[in-house]
């Protein structure tokens, strides 16, 4: 009887048919079919949201993000749904429209989503915004909804590790490897989650996984994981794995040191003798920039500072590079290049300061009056920072050249990041270090007293005295919590997360000596350049 009494709604069936067709076509990658079905749906029912949403997703999949955003916004205007808001947030974060992305993600969460994909998308947006604590809830719900989805579980594992829930993270990574023994991301994440020992490590399992790796990208990650664990247990075999992984990756990138040399040359040319726009900059005392070569103690100093009662960490922000790039108006796809640097000299410093603060403020997770920006590569922007934000404080970490070279060589940075393309060859790193050192000397000449050059080794040896000097430079009162930085429970989303949750120690000082033979050409070259390196 019920079947016979079913009322037939032509529009309802049309909507369901075309909506389902569009989603099915998207799933199999047929964008033309998806677009046709979505357009038919939007044309037939212009007052309903799904057609516009699906048209927006088709545009996004085609790489037309600027076109996709107003279409998805049109769907939300007709009927806010968690899925729509989450996808809007995802696209906004890709365009670095962080404030709008945060608003859309939180609106999506408030709509109480139930489907795993939407929950995971919200978590990813919050993580990109640096709010790793807030990402735990949607990531957890996504895994509960689809426990067999390894991508969702990986995201939850990573967020758990960033927020100090190491045992949870370890359990999730092991669950991933139980289901997919060759999962390279999980192998690497598990290796860097904590310090390994001779009694407890994953070296045999990693060697098995390496032998079975089919893809070059998987082999790269597994070799880095293997090298990290071998380094932890003091096995010199780590060097062999790093050499193989790095040589392969450098070939893939096609990197030439001349690329970075041109950037250093352009910065020196602009600030040492170029024509710079006049202006007083933007007065604001809140930012503290922690810069330097990566893996030299920047996360440690960020942790010390953000343990202070008046300071929060905003993480590694792209806010200064983005401000300069956008205001320079160059058409290149790279965020920093000689043309962008040259064009940036004509920008009003106050405009850079205002653009930076607008972007950075979206990443401040509490109302602390001061915040740290720990993007190491901001050492390239010290001139812009000094002019655009005259009241901002800048701290540059300095570490023994040999330990700096080794720590860069052994760390797997974002594999496609142009910032760290130099890090896959020992001599490239040495050359980069020499240009970094030369640039920092120029900043000291041009802006005396603006940058505190803080020695990592001295900080380790004289923790309280150096911490007092650091706080004084930053205009901060003494806070005993800065000595107990390892008790800070805030999230850490860098490879140094495990180290900064331990009291200060000298374990990292002189680590290069384990691989003295392989590093000898670098040591000799640096000595010839006048650097103080041991014989």
Measured torsion, CA atoms of residues 523, 524, 530, 531, in degrees rounded to the nearest 10: 10
Cα 289 to Cα 383: distance, rounded to the nearest angstrom: 12
Residues 296 and 21: their CA atoms lie apart, in Å, by 53
Label residues 400-422 b or e (16+ Cβ within 10 Å = b): bbbbbbbbbbbbbbeeeebbbbb
**Is the confidence at residue 531, as pLDDT, over 90?**
yes
Tell me how far apart the alpha carbons of residues 21 and 520 are, in angstroms, rounded to a whole number: 62
Work out whether strand 451-455 and strand 393-398 pair parallel, antiparallel, or are unpaired: parallel
User: Cβ distance 313 to 302 under 8 Å?
Assistant: yes
| pLDDT tens per residue, range 38-94 | 999 999 999 999 999 999 999 999 999 999 999 999 999 999 999 999 999 999 999
Higher pLDDT, 516 or 9: 516
Pairwise CA distance, residues 464 & 108, whole Å = 45
DSSP letter at 185?
H
Q: How far apart are CA 371 and CA 315, in angstroms?
A: 9
Lookup: tokens for 528: 């010839």
pLDDT tens sequence across 376-394: 999 999 999 999 999 999 9
> Which pLDDT score, from 0 to 100, does residue 495 have?
62
Cα–Cα dist 526/533, whole Å: 7
Number of other residues whose CB lies within 10 A of the CB of residue 73: 19
Q: Chain-wide mean pLDDT for the chain?
A: 91
Residue tagged 């989603």 (tokens): 23
Using a pLDDT cut of 70, give the percent of the chain over it: 94
Q: Are 442 and 271 in contact (CB under 8 A)?
A: yes
pLDDT, tens digit, 9 for 90 and up, residues 227-273: 999 999 988 899 999 999 899 888 888 899 999 999 999 999 999 98
Token duo for residue 41: 């749906």
pLDDT score at 279 = 92
**Of residues 452, 463, 442, 464, the one with CA closest to residue 398:** 452
Q: How many domains does the chain have?
A: 1
Split at pLDDT 50, 70, 90, the class of 5 is very low
Mean pLDDT of 381-410: 96
Q: Within a domain: residue 392? A: yes
Residue 453: φ, ψ to 5°: -90, 105
Mean pLDDT of 301-326: 95
Residue with tokens 């005392």: 285
Instruction: Specify the pLDDT at position 159.
Output: 96
- 404 with 293: CB under 8 angstroms? yes
- Is residue 512 a part of any domain in this protein? yes
Q: What is the pTM of this model?
A: 0.86
The gap from C-alpha 54 to its chain's centroid, in whole angstroms, comes to 30
Q: Which H or E run includes 398? A: strand 393-398
The model's pLDDT over 162-218, given as tens digits with 9 standing for 90+, comes to 998 999 999 999 999 999 999 999 999 999 998 899 999 999 999 999 999 999 889
Q: Does residue 54 or residue 18 have the better pLDDT?
A: 54
Q: Report if residue 78 sits inside a domain.
A: no
Per-residue pLDDT tens digits for 127-139 = 999 899 999 999 9
Contacts of 433 (CB under 8 A, 6+ apart): 293, 401, 404, 405, 526
Is residue 485 in a domain? yes
Using DSSP's 3-state secondary structure scheme, residue 41 falls into helix
Q: What is the pLDDT of residues 114-123, one digit of tens each?
A: 999 999 999 9
Q: Does residue 331 surpass a pLDDT of 60?
A: yes
Helix, coil or strand: residue 388:
helix
Contact, 408 vs 295, CB < 8 A?
yes
Contact 239, 522 (CB under 8 A): no
Residue 15 reports pLDDT greater than 70: no
Burial string for 74-112 (b: 16+ CB within 10 Å, else e) reads: bbbebeebbbbbbbbbbbbbeeebbebbbbbbbbbbebe
Q: Between these two residues, 507 and 448, which has the higher pLDDT value?
A: 448
Q: Is residue 383 part of a domain?
A: yes
Is the Cα torsion angle 513, 517, 518, 523 positive or negative in sign? positive
Q: What residues contact residue 412 under an 8 Å CB cut-off, 6+ apart?
A: 188, 220, 221, 224, 495
Q: Is 90 exceeded by the pLDDT of residue 6?
A: no
CB 89 within 8 A of CB 113: no
Q: Is residue 297 part of a domain?
A: yes
Let me know: does 323 contact 356? Beta carbons within 8 Å. yes
pLDDT at res. 415: 55
Q: How confident is the model at residue 498 (pLDDT cuts 50, 70, 90)?
A: low
In a domain, 159, yes or no: no
Q: Look at residue 67 and tell me if it is in a domain.
A: no
CATH code assigned at 465: 3.40.50.300
Confidence grade of residue 526 (pLDDT, cut at 50, 70, 90): very high
Query: Which domain range does residue 412 map to?
Result: 257-528
In the sheet that holds 393-398, the strands lie side by side as 311-313, 370-373, 287-292, 393-398, 451-455
Q: Which two tokens stand for residue 3?
A: 């079947």
CA angle at residue 533 from 527 to 535, to 5 degrees? 85
Q: How far apart are CA 371 and CA 356, in angstroms?
A: 13
Task: List the one residue out of 373, 396, 417, 426 whose CA is nearest residue 296.
Answer: 396
């Amino acid at each position: 009887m019920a079947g016979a009494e079913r009322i037939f709604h032509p529009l309802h069936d049309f909507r369901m048919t075309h909506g389902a067709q569009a989603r099915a076509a998207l799933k199999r990658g047929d964008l033309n079919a998806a677009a046709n079905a979505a357009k038919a749906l939007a044309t037939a029912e212009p007052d309903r949201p799904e057609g516009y949403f699906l048209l927006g997703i088709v545009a996004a999949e085609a790489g037309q993000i600027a076109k996709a955003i107003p279409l998805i916004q049109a769907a939300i205007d007709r009927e806010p749904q968690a899925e729509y808001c989450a996808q809007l947030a995802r696209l906004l974060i890709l365009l670095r429209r962080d404030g709008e992305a945060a608003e859309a993600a939180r609106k999506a969460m408030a709509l109480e989503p139930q489907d795993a994909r939407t929950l995971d998308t919200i978590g990813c947006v919050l993580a990109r915004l640096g709010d790793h604590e807030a990402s735990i809830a949607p990531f957890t719900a996504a895994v509960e909804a689809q426990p067999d989805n390894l991508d969702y579980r990986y995201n939850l594992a990573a967020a758990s590790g960033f927020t100090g829930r190491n045992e949870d993270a370890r359990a999730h990574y092991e669950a991933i490897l139980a289901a997919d023994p060759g999962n390279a991301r999980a192998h690497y994440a598990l290796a860097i989650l904590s310090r390994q020992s001779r009694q407890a490590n994953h070296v045999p399992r990693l060697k098995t996984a390496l032998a079975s790796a089919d893809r070059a990208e998987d082999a790269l990650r597994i070799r880095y994981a293997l090298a990290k664990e071998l380094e932890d247990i003091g096995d010199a075999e780590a060097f062999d794995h790093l050499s193989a992984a790095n040589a392969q990756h450098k070939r893939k990138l096609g990197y030439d040191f001349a690329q970075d040399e041109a950037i250093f040359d352009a910065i020196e040319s602009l600030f040492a003798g170029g024509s710079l726009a006049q202006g007083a900059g933007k007065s604001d005392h809140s930012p503290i920039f922690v810069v330097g070569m990566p893996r030299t103690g920047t996360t440690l100093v960020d942790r010390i500072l953000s343990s202070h009662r008046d300071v929060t960490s905003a993480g590694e922000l792209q806010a200064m590079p983005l401000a300069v790039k956008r205001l320079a108006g160059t058409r290149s796809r790279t965020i920093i290049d000689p043309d962008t640097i040259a064009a940036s000299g004509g920008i009003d410093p106050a405009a850079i300061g205002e653009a930076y603060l607008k972007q950075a403020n979206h990443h401040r997770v509490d109302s602390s009056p001061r915040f740290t920006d720990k993007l190491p590569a901001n050492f390239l922007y010290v001139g812009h920072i000094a002019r655009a934000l005259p009241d901002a404080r800048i701290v540059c970490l300095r570490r023994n050249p040999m330990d700096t070279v080794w720590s860069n060589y052994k760390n797997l940075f974002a594999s496609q990041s142009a910032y760290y393309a130099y890090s896959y060859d020992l001599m490239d790193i040495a050359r980069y270090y020499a240009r970094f050192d030369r640039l920092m000397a120029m900043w000291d000449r041009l802006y005396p007293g603006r940058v505190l050059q803080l020695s990592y080794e001295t900080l380790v040896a004289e923790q309280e005295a150096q911490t007092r000097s650091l706080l004084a430079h930053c205009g901060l009162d003494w806070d005993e919590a800065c000595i107990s930085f390892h008790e800070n429970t805030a999230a850490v989303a860098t490879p140094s997360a495990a180290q900064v949750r331990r009291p200060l120690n000298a374990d990292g000082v002189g680590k290069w000596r384990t691989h003295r033979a392989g590093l000898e050409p670098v040591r000799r070259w640096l000595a010839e350049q006048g650097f103080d390196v041991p014989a």
